[in-house]
Amino acid sequence: MPRPGVSRAQDQINILLKFPLEQQLGSDTVAALESTDRYARREALRHVEAHEPDYRPHGEDVVRRVCARISAKAPLMAVASEGSGVHFISVDDLDPGVGPPEGVPIYNPYTGVLSVYPESTLTAEEAVFSIQEAVADDDAVEGTEPIAIYRAIAALDATLEAEPETTVISGAAGDFSSDNALWTTAALQVAAAGEMVPWGLEQIGALGAWRRGYSGQGIIVAVVDTGIGPHVDIAPPLRGATFVPGSTSHNDDHGHGTHVAGTIAARQGNGIGVAGVAPLARLLAVKVLARDGYSRGDSVAHGVTWAANNGARVINLSLGSPQASDSMRRAVIYARSRNVIICAAAGNDYGGPVSYPAAFDDTCLAVAATDQSNRRATFSNRGPQLDISAPGVMIRSTYLANSYRELNGTSMATPHVAGVCAIVLSQHPEMLPLALQRHLEATAMPLGAPDQYGRGLVHAERAITAAVRTTSPQIVPTPANSDADMASPPASTSAAKRQRANR
């Protein structure tokens, strides 16, 4: 397919169209997710999770009209290519094995976002102004925003970073293809050297959960990151996709995603390497961050919606941005409507504000990092949006080329929580995201101030041994100075959502 222009990622512009979920639930419900009142937010989430959304891509006529208006008003915008005849591509039509073509607008029908690439001769400001002029009187357009750039947030504290590990096999990791044979070959190149249980797993009670028979079996966890590389200690992903322009595989060429994946689901009992929190969980490899650890275009939002549509019950987002993005907010709301819980890293800015998307309060489970003494890691961000804490200092896990490394960051803490989510869902597969979040908060080990630790340290064994509410008592508004838990959604709603989650 001819490419009508290659853009700079930071100059991509998102056009916000009418959001399908907002059309069905009402603008008040979606707006309530940003309320300062936690009761209002959680009541809105209950409504979102109880709804059966219809996401047939019914807005393509609107998208064509918007593209035509922009092209007529701003011919330098790469909205239409006379040579290829391509006006835009739906995210549903992207090949999951090949990154999207640069310069071609991409429409995400699940979030109502049209991502447009201006030519490199235009600045983002000029492009936004041109778009705003072109669609000023179009009722289908709610606004525009420059793309938010996300980065992998790990190992930013040099004083804590481990010495580089010696790889088990020589040579740098290449740009692996999706061929499962590579995973088999990798397995043959590693000699058994004994298996260790990383300190974090003991700290959060993962071993106790295993002894009781819960290891994440039957649960799919999406690693939305730099991809997952072939590694003897990780089962091949159930499936994968890449949303990085120019990439040809969902395999990892950075290392961050492979490290995250190992913490979630590294094999247990195979006699080598490390064990993951939920070793029987299955993984989706969703590549949204490039080789340098940064996003390109609206890749993260596309990756979240793809994971939600491909069986994920848990999404791990060990990435962040200081900028709020309505495009990303819509993506995580959509995932919640598909019965998916999103675990997101709080960020490594040494006590700075919680990063996005973790800062989308309650819509994501915001994770802070702790050390071996259960103290807040010095690099971990803080704020009222924090929900829970997990180990994030000197975390040993899988890395590229069948190696293992110790890394630090809220990126390393977040997969501990994602793994515990998988463990609890393997015991209670009917549980909706809001109920799961409340249960993890209620069973966490208190550590200190909520703006530093959230409700405390996530704990797998406590979570699976504590009773889970199955009734739906009347919800009483939370007092102004309280952060008490809300009531569970009805059990009948849970059953309906469980059926939809497996579609």
Cα 292 from Cα 35, distance rounded (Å): 35
3-state secondary structure of 234: coil
Between β-strands 341-345 and 365-370, what pairing exists: parallel, antiparallel or unpaired?
parallel
**Helix H or strand E segment including 329:** helix 326-337
Buried b (16+ CB within 10 A) or exposed e, 455-485: bbbbbbbbbbeeebeeeeeeeeebeeeeeeb
**Cα 370 to Cα 389: distance, rounded to the nearest angstrom:** 7
How many angstroms separate the CA atoms of 152 and 274, rounded?
A: 22
Grouping H, G, I as helix, E, B as strand and the rest as coil, residue 115 is strand
Measured distance between the N- and C-terminal CA atoms of the chain, rounded to whole angstroms: 32
Instruction: Fill in the DSSP letter of residue 133.
Output: H
**What are φ and ψ of residue 388, in 5° steps?**
-160, 165
Strand, coil or helix: 407:
strand
Query: How are the residues of the chain apportioned to helix, strand and coil, as percentages rounded to the nearest 5?
Result: 30, 15, 50
Measured between alpha carbons, how far is 191 from 232 in angstroms, rounded to an integer? Answer: 10
Distance of alpha carbon 364 from alpha carbon 224, whole angstroms? 14
Distance CA 329, CA 344 (A): 12
> Distance between CA atoms of 94 and 482, rounded to whole angstroms?
46
Strands 365-370 and 388-391: what pairing? parallel
Residues 313, 501 contacting (CB under 8 angstroms): yes
Query: Length of the chain, please?
Result: 503
Active site residues: 225, 256, 411
Q: Are 484 and 40 in contact (CB under 8 A)?
A: no
